[in-house]
Amino acid sequence: MDIFERYYNYIGNIAEMKDWKIEDLVIYLKDEMKNNIQFKDFIDFRQELLTDVAF
């Protein structure tokens, strides 16, 4: 599975977990940054998606 699939599966799983209150989401993401070794890869991948625009 490539980074694209892993990223979208990860985001999909978060979206399906529950209706997030902003505080709960912040706590969850903070924990993910500390404990999930793939989290930085997902951030880097998302940054590429946002900044890789042809003008």
DSSP for 1-55 reads: --HHHHHHHHHHHHHHH----HHHHHHHHHHHHHH-TTHHHHHHHHHHHHH----
- Binned at pLDDT 50, 70 and 90, residue 34 comes out as very high
pTM to 2 decimal places: 0.61
**Residue 20: which pLDDT band, with cuts at 50, 70 and 90?**
confident
- Domain range for 46 is 3-51
| Other residues' Cβ atoms within 10 Å of the Cβ of residue 6 | 14
C-alpha to C-alpha distance for 54 and 27, rounded to whole angstroms: 35
Whether residue 54 has pLDDT greater than 70: no
Asked whether the CA dihedral 34, 37, 42, 47 is positive or negative, the reply is: positive
Q: How many domains does the chain have?
A: 1
pLDDT surpasses 70 at 47: yes
